[in-house]
Amino acid sequence: DAIGAIDGTHIPAMVTEKNAPNHRNRHGIISQNVLAACSFDIEFIYVLSGWEGSAHDSKILSDALTRKNGLKVLQ
């Protein structure tokens, strides 16, 4: 069973030259990595933005699951 879908996407970003290397994704584009979860009713139920484009999806998901008021996964 599933309650919806979760995925990440890259949003183009403008950052300082100093921060550019951390925000450069694997395609060489400066971006922020955004994690979003939606229900089967196609409603966003959680969004976490602001991660550097170079951040790995597993690190972002781990942060979403452990932060206060983070993503809740039903057992």
Q: By CB neighbour count within 10 A (0-12 exposed, 13-18 middle, 19+ buried), where does 53 fall?
A: buried
For the chain, what is the mean pLDDT?
88
What is the model's pLDDT at position 62? Answer: 93
pTM of the model: 0.78
Instruction: Give the model's pLDDT for residue 7.
Output: 82
Asked if the model's pLDDT at residue 1 lies above 60, the reply is no
